[in-house]
Structure 1
Amino acid sequence: MEKKVVFYCLTAKFVDSAVDIPEEVSNIMYYTLSVGHHTGVADCLSPCLSCSMDTYRSIVSHIDSQEARYKLEGIMRFGEIQIDKVHVPALTEALKKELQSLYLQKTSKLYAVEITWLTQFLELLEEVRTQTAMYMMGRLTDEQ
C-alpha cells in the first residue's frame, strides 16, 4: 500500500454528555467551547485535503524556512501533526514562497500536483487564521 498524507479540518464540536447541562453552569460550558478547552467536548474532524507521500515529501523538501519545514516534517516523524493559529504565519510565508518558486520554474508543469496542493493548503491556513477555534490535523495513512 502507498502512504498518503491526509489533512482533516475541524467541522463541529459537541458536548459529550449523557445528561443535560444545568442552566446555572451552561455559560461555563459555552465559554469552554468558545475558547477551545476540551472539558467534555468532542471535536469532529473531516478530511479536507490529501496527497501521496511522494508529493508531500517533494513539497516539504523544498521549503526554505526551518521552522515551517520542521513543523510539516512532523508527519514523517510522528505520523501526525496539528496546525492551529500559532503555526499559520510561518507556514503561510514559507508556503507562499514555495508556490511562487514553483510557478517561476520552467518545469512548473511537472509540479502541477504540488502547485494545486499548495494553493489549497494556503486556503485552509487562511480559514484557520480567520475562524474561531478552527484547526487542522495532518495524518499519515495507508492509501486504499
Structure 2
Amino acid sequence: MAGKVEFYRLSKKFVSEKEASPRVKQLQYYALAIGHHVGVVDCLSPVMNMSREEYLQWIAKLPPGEARRKMEGVVKWGEVEITKEHVRSLTKVLTGAAPAFLPEEKKRADCLLQLLRSIEREPAIYLVVRSL
C-alpha cells in the first residue's frame, strides 16, 4: 500500500495585499481575528508524517466512535481538518488507546496530543491531515 499521511499545523495567517487594498486595513484585521478567509492566506507547516500503512495500523487501535471516524476520513476523503471541536474526543481516545500503541505509535500519539493541547489553548489554530 503506497502513500504517505502528513499532519500540518497552522503556523501563521496573513492578508494577501493583492486581494485587500490598504484602505480596508480594519477589515483585514477583523478577518484575521475571526478567521474568515476573505483575502486571508493560511500557512501550514508539516509537523508529522508516516506511511499510509503505518497510519492505518495506528488508527485501527482507536476504539470505534466519532474520533476514529474523523481519523478514518483521511483515507476516505484524502484530507481532514482537526479543529477545537475535535480536541476533546481525540484526546480521550488517544489517551485511552495508549497501552495498545507500539513505541513509534506512542510517539505519534504524544505529538498529536501536544498539538491538540495547542488548539485548546488557542482555538484559532487547527490541523490538516492529508493522504499524499
Instruction: Give the TM-score normalised by the residue count of structure 2.
Output: 0.91
Larger radius of gyration: 1
> CA–CA distance in 2 between the matches of 1:95 and 1:35?
29
Offset of residue 65 of structure 1: 4.2
Aligned 1:1-144 pairs, distance under 5 A: 2-18=2-18, 20-22=21-23, 25-99=24-98, 101-102=99-100, 111-141=102-132
2:84–2:123 CA contact under 8 A, matched in 1 = no
Percent identity (aligned): 36
Q: Gaps (5+ residues) in structure 2?
A: none
- Ranges of 4+ aligned residues in structure 1 off by more than 3 Å: none
Q: Gaps (5+ residues) in structure 1?
A: 103-107
Report SS of the residue matched to 1:9.
strand
User: How many residues are aligned here?
Assistant: 131
Q: For the aligned residues, what is the CA RMSD?
A: 1.6
Offset of residue 16 of structure 1: 1.3
Offset of residue 77 of structure 1: 0.2
1:105 is matched with: none
> CA–CA distance in 2 between the matches of 1:97 and 1:21?
50
